[in-house]
Structure formats: C-alpha cells, structure tokens
C-alpha cells in the first residue's frame, strides 16, 4: 500500500467523539491536566512509551519501530480565554482562573482540540501498521502554545535529552481554508511576536487642578500617536513590521488625574535586526514622552510574551508537500506567503538542530467557498482562529488531518 493510498483511509469514527469531548472541556495553558490524561491513556493503549508532566503538563509518546530516522510530530493542547459563540451543541461553557487568578471563559477558539485529536488518530494508525514505516516516532503533545512558553518549557525539561532526538519536526495547524487544502510557505513562514507592557508614571491630582499633575493619560495619548511613526517613518517599506497598541489603561474617575497609565503593545516582525530596531524605537518614543512631560520616574517596558520567527526548512517542507501533492493533487496545495500569525513550534526544531516542516490544514466546509483559493471571498467572512465563533468542520477535517500526519510521517520514516 502506497503512502497516498493509506492517506485516503477514513479516521476512526470514535475520534469525532474524542474531539467533541475535548472541545467541551478546554483547558488554559499549563492547566491541560485532563487533556493530558486522555492523551496518555490513548497512547499507552496503542503501545507507545508514554511520559507525562514534561514541561509541566506536556505528554511525550515514543514508538520505536526498527532502524531508521526519528520524526517528532507536535500537537498543541491548550485553549484560549475566549467565550465561545459557535452555537454548537458541544460548545464550551467552561470558566477557569487564568495565570493571574482571574476567572475567565475558556474555549478552543484556535483549534488545538482538533490538533490533539488528529495526532491521536495518526498515532493509532501508525501503531497498527508498523510494516508500512521504519524508524522512531516521537509524539509531542505540547502545553501553553498560546502563552508562547510551552515549547520552551518542554525543551528546558529535557525533551531533547530524555527522548530520541529528531531528524525532522513535523506539525500542522488548522485554518479557515477549505477542508481538503493544505497551505505552507518555505522560509520565514510565521512572524516573530513581541508583546510588551509599558508603564508610564505621572503625578496624580484633582481634575480641577491639572497644574499640580504630571498627567499620564496625556503621556499615553502622545505615546500611542508617537508609536505609529515607528513603522511608518523608521522602517524601510521593504521590511514587514506590524506594531499594534492593543490596550490603554488609566484612571477610574472622570474628575481624577491618575498617577499612572499602562499601554499594551504587540510587534510582529521577521528580521532579527529589524526587530531590535523597532524595540529600540519604542523605548525612544516612550522615554521621550515621559521626559517631555517631566515625569517623576522613567517608564518601564516589560516583556509579556515572545514568539520567535517560525522558519520552514525549504527542502524538508518540499519533501512533505510533494507527498501531499501526490495525495490531494497539486491544485490543493497552496502557498500563502509569510503569515503575521505566530507559533512556538519552531523552538522544538531549532533546539534540536532539525529541519521544520509545518503546514496549515484546511478546516472549513468546502461548500462555503467559490474558488477554494487564497483569494476566495469566503475567507473574509468565515470566522477565523481566535474568534468566539470559530469552529472547524470536524467531520470533514478530522480524517484529512489524520491522513496528512500519517502521510508526512511515512514520507520521512519510509518502510525498509
């Protein structure tokens, strides 16, 4: 049986029930204990060597199947602090405390439940047909991708020392493309992301006596406007950078000038030198605003989270996509270019010194699309990842997601 023939096999119908169960019971980053337990139980039943608690709540399954290379396949497990609005009969109604102790709604608004289920399905098929491949399979079920810390936590916990070191890292992420399509880009595929908190210190006063204050609200307003010039006036038009001020917090009353203000920023970039320049310019802007206002203290800039640039190895991705073209047809394999979204899967590859092959899995009902290409009008209206209304078409997507992983693994761990 060829890789392509195998890839047309329908996934175990029980996977849909597992997916719906995971969807009903989402867990935030480093809280994925229930999910990890289900994963470990399934992997053990398939004959994998299983270790739990890697990097906090991560799970690693190893299946040794004779001589050959080692492939690491990763799926993330965590959910988002988003209240679900899909209307599904298995929608999440879960709330949970976040890292700061605030109780928030929780849902799988990014599709990590689908990633986990697809890798479980692939694990079952690969374990049941060991004559079709040879080598070592390392399955990594990662916590806290949304926090940008899960992959590094697993590496810091000895992922690459305690388990076979991979020759390739594979993975996929569901996207609002038609089910049956796969999209991937070689080179810098997903942007690096820096999220920052800027604290501006002023001097509070009564709203009727502004002369006695150093107004941090005015400083914040000037900083927001000044930050808009970082990209428009200090970055070359050929360099791609996005700088967003996502939140401004200051004060609680109309007649009180507060003592401080907070800005939350996000920066997306692809080039390390450009990233450094932007961070330097951000500091110049906020320092300049504070100095101009006569602030009693300089502002502080704190890193909240950081995603490195995800770089797909051209040769490795090409090898994987060739197998997908043979399976789905060349017209179903798309190149979306470099995306502004961010991921931490690249940490697993760079830490191992292994090539990365990471792709987007179409997860939407194909009947909603006109052309099925990257210019399809439906892409502007179908809810995307992180939307409260985002929900993959699980029945259409699960078999394809399982088959994509099986195809990729058997391409890299061929039978001898």
Helices marked H in 8-149 — which ranges? 14-24, 33-46, 112-128
**Are the C-beta atoms of 29 and 147 separated by less than 8 Å?**
yes
* Bridge partners for 71 per DSSP: 137, 168
Residues with Cβ < 8 Å from 205, sequence gap 6 or more? Answer: 212, 213, 257
173 is in an annotated binding site: yes
| Residue 414 burial (CB count, 10 A) | 14
Burial tier of 407 (Cβ tally within 10 Å: 0-12, 13-18, 19+): buried
**Binding residue per annotation — 112?**
yes
Q: Give the Cα separation of 380 and 39 in Å (integer).
A: 35
Helix and strand totals (H; E) in the chain: 11, 18
CA dist list (Å): 297 to 56, 166, 215, 292, 341: 38, 49, 13, 12, 35
Please give the structure tokens belonging to residue 167.
């020759």
386 is in an annotated binding site: yes
Binding-site residue set: 110, 112, 146, 173, 386
Binding annotation for Mn(2+): 110, 112, 146, 173, 386
């Amino acid at each position: 049986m060829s890789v392509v023939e195998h890839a047309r096999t329908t996934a175990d119908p029980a996977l849909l029930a597992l997916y719906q169960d995971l969807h009903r019971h989402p867990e935030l980053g480093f809280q994925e204990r229930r999910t990890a337990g289900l994963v470990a139980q399934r992997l053990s039943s398939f004959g994998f060597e299983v270790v739990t608690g890697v990097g906090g709540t991560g799970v690693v399954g190893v299946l040794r199947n004779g001589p050959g290379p080692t492939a690491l396949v990763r799926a993330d497990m965590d959910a988002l602090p988003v209240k679900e609005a899909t209307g599904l009969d298995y929608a999440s109604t879960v709330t949970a405390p976040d890292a700061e102790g605030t109780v928030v709604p929780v849902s799988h608004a990014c599709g990590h439940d689908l990633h986990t289920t697809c890798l479980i399905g692939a694990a079952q098929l690969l374990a049941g047909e060991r004559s079709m491949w040879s080598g070592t399979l390392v399955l990594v079920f990662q916590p806290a991708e949304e926090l940008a810390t899960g992959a590094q936590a697993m590496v810091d916990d000895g992922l690459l020392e305690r388990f076979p070191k991979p020759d390739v890292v594979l993975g996929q992420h569901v996207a609002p493309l038609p089910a049956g399509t796969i999209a991937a880009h070689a080179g810098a595929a997903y942007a690096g992301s820096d999220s920052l908190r800027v604290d501006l210190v002023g001097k509070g006063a009564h709203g009727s006596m502004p002369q006695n204050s150093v107004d941090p609200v005015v400083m914040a307003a000037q900083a927001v406007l000044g930050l808009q010039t970082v990209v428009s006036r200090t970055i070359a038009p050929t360099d791609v950078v996005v700088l967003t001020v996502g939140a401004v917090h200051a004060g609680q009353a109309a007649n009180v000038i507060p003592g401080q203000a907070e800005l939350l920023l996000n920066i997306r970039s692809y080039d390390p030198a450009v990233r450094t320049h932007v961070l330097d310019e951000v500091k110049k802007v906020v320092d300049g605003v504070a100095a101009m206002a006569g602030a009693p203290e300089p502002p502080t800039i704190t890193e909240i989270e950081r995603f490195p640039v995800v770089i797909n190895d051209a040769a490795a991705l090409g090898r994987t996509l060739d197998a997908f073209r043979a399976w789905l047809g060349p017209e179903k394999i798309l190149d979306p270019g470099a995306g502004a979204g961010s991921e931490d899967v690249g940490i697993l590859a760079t830490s191992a010194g292994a090539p990365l092959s990471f792709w987007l899995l179409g997860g939407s009902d194909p009947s909603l699309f006109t052309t099925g290409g990257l210019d399809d009008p439906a892409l502007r209206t179908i809810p995307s990842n992180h939307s409260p209304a985002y929900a993959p078409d699980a029945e259409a997507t699960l078999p394809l997601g399982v088959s994509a992983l099986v195809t990729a693994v058997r391409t890299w761990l061929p039978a001898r």
